[in-house]
A and B are shown apart, each in its own frame.
Chain A
Amino acid sequence: MSKKITKEQVFDAIRKVVDPEVGFNLVEMGLIYDAIIDEQNNVKVVMTLSTRGCPLHQLLMQWVKDAVKEIPGVNDVEVEIVWEPEWNISMAEEHVKKALGGGA
């Protein structure tokens, strides 16, 4: 039985996934809402997108899945996109808000 993986490990793995339009990773954008890990190290990532019609919708889901699968010991990975709560800039990390706001 492998060691139980943690939510932090999952979030750190997803930090490698960068939105090419804004140039920030999905975690610092605040798009990753939760990571649910069961006893068998199956992971369910709950995330949103900054807009419903994102043309990278499918690819972002796949990249998140691929990134989490690289964690040693992880079993199955599922990614769920949710629209509630709706994403807004207040969910992003401070340095992202500052950078997007033109340094304001």
Chain B
Amino acid sequence: MFQVSREFAPPFSLISPFFTVGSLLYLVAMLLLPTFGADSVRYDISVVAWAHLFLLGFVMMIIFGAMAQLVPVVLEVGHFSVDFYYLIWPLLAVGTAFMAVGFAFLPSLLPFGGLMVLVSMLIFLADTILTLKKVERISLTVKTIAVTNAFLLLGILIGFAMSLAIGAGVGVDIEKWLGAHIVMVLGGYVTLTIVGMSMVLLPMFGLSHGFDETPVNRAFKIMSAGVAAYFLGALLDSDSIRFLSLIALFIGTGLYLWQIWLIYKTRARKESDIWFKSMVVGYGSLAIALILAPIALIGRLETLALTATWFLVMGFFTFLINGHLYKIVPFLVWFERYSPLVGKRKVPMLADMVPKKAAEFQFWFTAAGLVTAGVGLLFGSDELFKGGAAFMATGAVFMFYSIRWMINFTEGLED
């Protein structure tokens, strides 16, 4: 039994640091957010520092931690070597800190931070690729993992080259490659990973069955082509290719949202728990971003583009990740501490292992902050942006508390 358990659910001691560090860096990033204004968000180099703190320290940290658990679930095979994950989080955490400080104060730190982040991601990629080689049943999710990891590799190599340019004066045209770095990592890895994972997780938690998967299959192909074309556009320095690739990404995102609607319509489980509410705000934010982004692209409206990015990153990414933490962390804790007791004594259900009040506070503060700060960005209002950011920071305090509460859950184990 131990062999089996280890294969499908890695030890909690391995995964919990990803969630603790990820939620801590999320809290730090959110506490820093009110120091920005609606205008400074656009031009300040400290924004780049903040973006790396948030995206590497929170988004990537949590995704990698979740992948330790989710890769075996969605691929239906065990990790090649899950022990690799013991190296990933410290390298990523220290690398992120070096990069954030490097961008904000000390550019010479950037190559060191960049190298640590690169190595941590290469370790992650090595385990994922070697695990993929064991897969026998090729589903859409398997394909998305293969493709997204290729995009991640390209994206981080471009990022590392840019860190060498800023920190060590290596000749890399940052203007030319910045867009490709963002599209490869945020579009090619984060968004497409969410697309693939959601096709397993949303039906699993919502008990949805019998829905048509044509929209997501098309979305995946169109979005992958869009990301690859953007890379080509950067390589050839062609605005037309970049424009068309973004249009492809918008069409793919629209099809993906249609797929989510089909899953929603066929769900058997209709409770409105914290996970479900987080999904509603997350996908609602993606829909808002999808409405704003094409208008911004065609009209070359910078403020609208920034607002679309806000809803993509702070709405879609953040709510999808936080919402799933309320499912993944209790499961891992339950698996580690309570599954050996099944049949011997009463064990809690997973829903009992979520701090309901703190989770509700986290949700409402973050959602209110998301909308308020988003409106602030759209209308250039510092007051609204800072007010919304303060709400989000308060939400992050409850998020960190909730994560620690779930990780430390031991009810009924004392006697």
Contacts and interface: CB of A to CB of B under 8 A. Distances in A.
B9 A89 contact: no
A2 interface: no
Given A58-B4, A88-B210, A100-B269, A53 B334 contact: no
Interface in A46-104: 50-59, 62-63, 66-67, 86-89, 92, 97, 100-102, 104
Contact of B209 (A17, A18, A86, A102): A86
B343 A66 contact: yes
A55 B331 contact: yes
Interface stretch (B17-25, B70-78, B95-103): B70-78
A101 B1 contact: no
Contacts of A22: 207, 269
A101 B270 CA distance: 5
Contacts of A51: 200, 203-204
Contact of B271 (A53, A58, A86, A100): A100
Given A55-B331, A88-B209, A62 B200 contact: no
A17 B339 CA distance: 12
B1 A62 contact: yes
Nearest to B342: A63
A101 B206 CA distance: 10
A89 B207 contact: yes
A102 B271 contact: yes
B349 interface: yes
B5 A23 contact: no
A100 B207 contact: yes
Nearest to B205: A21
B343 A53 contact: no
Contacts of A21: 205, 331, 349-350
B204 A20 contact: no
A interface, over-half SS: loop
Interface residues of A, number: 31
B272 A20 contact: no
B366 interface: no
Given A20-B350, A100-B270, A104-B270, A53 B74 contact: yes
A22 B267 CA distance: 14
A29 to B, nearest CB: 9
23 contacts: A17-B342, A20-B338, A20-B347, A20-B349, A20-B350, A21-B350, A50-B204, A51-B200, A52-B76, A55-B9, A55-B69, A55-B72, A55-B335, A59-B1, A62-B1, A86-B210, A88-B209, A88-B268, A89-B209, A92-B268, A100-B269, A101-B269, A101-B270
Q: Can you list the 10 inter-chain pairs with the closest CB atoms, starting with the nearest? A: A89-B268, A58-B4, A102-B270, A88-B209, A51-B204, A53-B73, A100-B269, A23-B349, A55-B73, A101-B270
Contacts of A88: 209-210, 268
Contacts of A18: 349
A44 interface: no
Interface string B188-207: 00000000000010011101
A22 B44 CA distance: 47
A21 B209 CA distance: 17
Nearest to B69: A55
B170 interface: no
A63 B343 contact: yes
B268 A67 contact: no
Given A21-B205, A56-B335, 10 more contacts: A21-B349, A21-B350, A53-B76, A53-B200, A86-B210, A87-B209, A89-B207, A97-B268, A100-B268, A101-B270
Interface in A20-43: 20-23
A33 B8 CA distance: 25
A62 B340 CA distance: 11
Contacts of B74: 53
Interface in B325-369: 331, 334-335, 338-339, 342-343, 347-351
A15 interface: no
Contacts of A54: 73, 204
A20 B8 contact: no
Nearest to A61: B4
Contacts of B205: 21
Nearest to A58: B4
A94 B287 CA distance: 36
Nearest to B343: A66
Contacts of A56: 335, 339
Contacts of A55: 8-9, 69, 72-73, 331, 335
Contact of B343 (A52, A57, A67): A67
Nearest to A50: B207
Interface in B33-49: none
A65 to B, nearest CB: 11
